[in-house]
Amino acid sequence: MSSACPDVAILPFDGKTPVIHPSAFIAPGCRIIGDVEIGAQASIWYNCVIRADVNRIRIGARSNVQDGSVIHCDSPKPDRPDGFPTIIGEDVLIGHMAMVHGCTLEDRSFVGMGAIVMDGAVIEGNSMLAAGALLSPGKRIPARQLWAGRPATYMRDLTDAMIERMAGGVDRYVGYAQAHGEAVAANRG
């Protein structure tokens, strides 16, 4: 597991230590803090920050969080005693430099490069938030839809071919993670 790499910070916070499946790939430069769980064959790419200091973060099997992305959560408040944890299902694609905060990304959803998903938002399975889009607090993207813009709005339904391409992206990233894990291990000496 590449989480043993010396330039990865896996830090306990408030008595909670990240739990990372041994088959997950954690790239150099990552910072993973607090109440985080990362599933089997998931991949966290170079220079990501996953900070679960005020609530929990869960990342499901085979999901990937691409380079430079930030994942955080929202703390409990008097009007929201549970706050907003960040729950990322299985087979989720999160593009480079995305900001994912206190939201739910259901199985097989997609967040494009540079997109922002805010507190209480939900992206249902087999749906997509386009690159650069901003999904406002509490908004929900229904299954099989593409939303884009700032703030994001419905653009169109996704075709079966687009959903198959997203599934192919998950498979490719599982393979990329294995290759990068081997390269990182070989370069450690």
Q: 27 with 69: CB under 8 angstroms?
A: no
CATH number at residue 63: 2.160.10.10
Instruction: List pLDDT tens digits, range 18-46.
Output: 999 999 999 999 999 999 999 999 999 99
pLDDT above 90 (res 4):
no
Instruction: List pLDDT tens digits, range 59-108.
Output: 999 999 999 999 999 999 999 999 999 999 999 999 999 999 999 999 99
Query: Average pLDDT over the chain, rounded to whole?
Result: 95
Q: Is the pTM of this model over 0.85?
A: yes
Burial class (CB in 10 A: 0-12, 13-18, 19+), 79: exposed
Count of domains observed in the chain: 1
User: Which is nearest to 125 in space by CA: 108, 101, 146?
Assistant: 108
Q: 146 with 165: CB under 8 angstroms?
A: no
Q: 151 with 137: CB under 8 angstroms?
A: no
Alpha helices in 8-121 (DSSP H): none
Of 6 and 95, the one with more pLDDT: 95
Q: Which domain range does residue 65 map to? A: 2-187
